[in-house]
Amino acid sequence: MQRGYSLKWLFVSAAAVGAGCLALRNASYDTNGYLLLCVVAALAICLVGALVRTGRPRAFWIGAAIFGWIAFLVNGPAHSLLPNLALPTDQAIAFLHSKVSQSLTPDEAIRQGWYPAEAFSASRLRHPIAVPMLTHFSDAAHCLMTLVAACFGGLMGRRFYRLNSITTEPGRAAN
The pLDDT assigned to 131 comes to 73
Percent of the chain residues topping a pLDDT of 70: 76
User: Looking at per-residue confidence, does 167 or 25 come out higher?
Assistant: 25
Q: How many C-beta atoms surround the C-beta of residue 173 within 10 A?
A: 7
**Residues 131 and 114: beta-carbon distance below 8 Å:** yes
**Residues 59 and 157: beta-carbon distance below 8 Å:** yes
Indicate if the pLDDT at residue 116 is higher than 80.
no
Task: Report the sign of the C-alpha dihedral through residues 41, 65, 19, 87, in that order.
Answer: positive
pTM metric for this prediction:
0.77
Q: How many C-beta atoms surround the C-beta of residue 90 within 10 A?
A: 14
Domain boundaries defined on the chain: 28-168
List Cα–Cα distances, 66 to 70, 73, 166, in angstroms.
Answer: 6, 11, 23
